[in-house]
Structure 1
């Protein structure tokens, strides 16, 4: 599927990133759903996830969902690094391709904050929500801008990337870099590192869904006829679909270093950052998520003044949050609906 073109662009100008580099002429791609009301009180921010684009978030938006565009103005900003916003694949020298600077979750949210405040003039967000890296951005919003965020619903994600999660990220990144065609990130258009991308996808496949998902052959519900068919048709197809390897590595760096404790003012103290959150937070981890397990969110929740954890039951692992399984989608939607009904 070609990359989507149905988005708008917010020019960020020169952005000084948390690690010191200046990303010049930066831009944020975004899409909105619904209409901003007169007093600008109905805006929801719903960031994208690892390698996802705004269209990949649409499964949770609709008239039959809590994120109803007839009621809410839903802003879906594309992460820096995802190929639509400023990324290795679309940034001119000297920060193009393998030289793209390191971007943190704090950087992501500060760019989104500018979109929300400077472009739309919004001062209050009834909700921030997101899956996976979108959940990381949700936590970051609650820490960085507690004066704005009224409710937060991170699902299948975390406030700090755990060591086991980092092992996973190292494994997929190493698989991609091992392709000789990768050439240290300076691969040519006529020598694309396809072998590395296929290896990347197959390593990812062992983590994205649970052991029980594979044992029960749940992939058949997605229309695949065999395990190999699933590995090729679902996993390889996704990462071979205009996913640039340098973009994947840039986003993996952001994910690997995720930690709200690195927000300026907290000096690496994750507990203090979590304790600073003013809004109610409903975290929804998946029961069998292999890299964002429920215990990580239970740990974080105890440090949030108004934190709650609801575990998504079932065997779909991390992809319980990906909109593929109707039962999981209904669970997530209900959690968001419950939170939006809360008085704050």
Structure 2
């Protein structure tokens, strides 16, 4: 049974110039919108994530408490629930699905928040990884609407090194003979497994592997961890959906739009919301020094690294000490 709602957007003109017909956003809400409509938290999803993957940070007594806040999780375009290559009919199906940007995602989420719910103020936008990039975009695109942002494990611009890693993941997937230029009749499983192997080297830190911290997850050997976890992790996803999200990440840049015309520092300076920026201290995708640079241009930003050996995945909700750190600081941030 479906546990989310669908918001119909109609025909959407994307930043690429293409029109996506009958576009939809899948979303789920938690809690109740108060009469003043000022208890709103927006929590976008991440690469290969669904709204359910965000739920670890939501619950009574937590910072994102549904007894206090109205929490909206919009699913990212391309994740298989919102408009994606796997659920869009011809001629925009499979590899014909158009390029979508972070700017596109946030603009459509804003439409959901304002037109569906009549909300004019957002208490907090929060997100991890590509959800963090969307969080920065919310702050930059709608500075008068957003009171706080809390991006963790993600930057306001995808740097060249991360782009190379994302391209490597795409190349590994497309090397499968079943790929068929994106018009496959069955999922390219070998390519999906290879993509997982590429991600494995970057999702966690060198210390994580050196100290065999994967054993805390129940895997006794490195080979068992790679085969039983990373070779399987993307098999539940459609290959074109994954590539769509990766290409969104590759072009991630809050200034890559008509408002800021590529002036990255200007886009950062317009984030007037109070900001809590929490990178993973050993994140190889989005290293903390990039966030530190970004925070310098933001009028009201606190730079607070998550000291962790879990690399990028410090923000995924799997390791309790990291999760406690994130929740504790979000709770404090919301009270300030």
TM-score scaled to structure 1, two decimals? 0.96
Q: CA deviation at 1:264?
A: 2.0
Is 1:34 the counterpart of 2:34? The answer is no
Q: Which residue of 2 aligns with 1:300?
A: 294
Matching of residues 280-295 of structure 1 within 5 Å: 280-295=274-289
Structure 1: give runs of 5+ residues left out of the alignment.
Answer: none
Q: Which residue of 1 aligns with 2:228?
A: 233
Q: CA deviation at 1:330?
A: 0.8
Distance 1:57 1:328 in 2: 15
Q: Which residue of 1 aligns with 2:322?
A: 328
Distance 2:30 2:105 in 1: 20
Q: CA deviation at 1:237?
A: 2.1
Structure 1: which 4+ aligned runs deviate by more than 4 Å?
none
Q: Which residue of 2 aligns with 1:92?
A: 89
Q: Which residue of 2 aligns with 1:267?
A: 261
TM-score scaled to structure 2, two decimals? 0.99
CA contact (8 A) 1:157 1:292 kept: yes
1:178-216 deviation digits (Å, cap 9, x = unpaired) = 111101101103xx2111111110011000000100111
Coordinate RMSD, CA, aligned: 0.9
Q: Which residue of 2 aligns with 1:127?
A: 124
Q: Which residue of 2 aligns with 1:278?
A: 272
CA contact (8 A) 1:144 1:263 kept: no
Q: Which residue of 2 aligns with 1:180?
A: 177
Structure 2: give runs of 5+ residues left out of the alignment.
Answer: none
Q: CA deviation at 1:218?
A: 0.7
CA contact (8 A) 1:198 1:240 kept: yes
Distance 1:232 1:111 in 2: 38
Q: Which residue of 2 aligns with 1:223?
A: 218
Q: CA deviation at 1:308?
A: 1.4
Is 1:141 the counterpart of 2:135? The answer is no
Instruction: Give the aligned length.
Output: 336
SS of residue in 1 equivalent to 2:255: helix
Distance 1:178 1:5 in 2: 34
Is 1:150 the counterpart of 2:147? The answer is yes
Distance 1:322 1:140 in 2: 20
Q: CA deviation at 1:336?
A: 1.0
